Amino acid sequence: MNGGPTGPRPCPRARRIVLTGFMGAGKSTVGRILAARLGWRFYDSDHLVAAGLGITVAEIFERHGEARFRELEAAAIMEALTRDRIVLALGGGAIETPSVREQIFAVDNGTLTVFLSAPLPELLLRCHHGEQAAPVRPLLTAAEPPEERLKRRLPHYQCAHLIVDTSGIPATTVVEQLLAAL
Ligand code: S3P
């Protein structure tokens, strides 16, 4: 919702901030700025997985399939969450992996989870912007419509400690709202 973050549960004292939300939510952009403002390190689960194999996320999907990508993604997230003073941007589908949900929503483990939300048309517009040269999100062209994918994920995203509506809001403003809420 506009006007600031809201959330269903009280925030734990955060040693880590995990950003979740659908593709195009701005997790990496917001995460990078937020980490810089906090003086924390920034990690992006897509980059961790891709760096581990030395190929792109799109290539991992193509060569190894989504199931293998999800395993690598969950392992990279578990490893990142062993660190303190980090901001971690999750790939949009990581929330569908039960072990990831258990880890990021565990009570009092020092991890604050933030859902960056926006209406689907805006998310898709943001995804397609700048991706003309090289598509980097294989699932945007998959058989399952994004509406279905989002519908399935939404109840999980909404378990986040904080929910920020990023619709029409620049990343820097989202960061200010988050900092004010922390
Ligand atoms: C995915 C989102 C992507 C990436 C992969 C799958 C998804 O990350 O992990 O293409 O399932 O929604 P972003 O959310 O950073 O685009």
Kindly give the confidence (pLDDT) of every residue in the chain, 182 residues in length, as a single tens digit, with 9 standing for 90 and above.
Answer: 444 555 444 445 799 999 999 999 999 999 999 999 999 999 999 999 999 999 999 999 999 999 999 999 999 999 999 999 999 999 999 999 999 999 999 988 899 999 999 999 999 999 887 555 445 788 888 888 999 999 999 999 999 999 999 999 999 999 999 999 98
Atom of ligand 1 at shortest range from CA of 93? 11
DSSP β-bridge partners for residue 17: 87, 112
Distance 138 CA to ligand 1 centre (A): 8
* Phi and psi at residue 164, to the nearest 5°: -120, 125
| Closest C-alpha to ligand 1, atom 10 | 137
Q: Are 45 and 87 in contact (CB under 8 A)?
A: no
Measured in whole angstroms, the distance separating CA 36 from the mean position of its chain's CA atoms is: 17
- Which protein residues are within 6 Å of ligand 1, measured from CB? 23, 27, 46, 57, 91-93, 137-139
CA 154 → CA 7, 53, 76, distances in Å? Answer: 14, 30, 23
| Closest C-alpha to ligand 1, atom 15 | 91
Query: Rounded to two decimals, what is the model's pTM?
Result: 0.91
Residue whose pair of structure tokens reads 């950003």 in the numeric block: 19
For the record, the structure tokens of 113 come out as: 């989870």
| 138 half-sphere exposure, CB direction, 13 A CA radius | 14
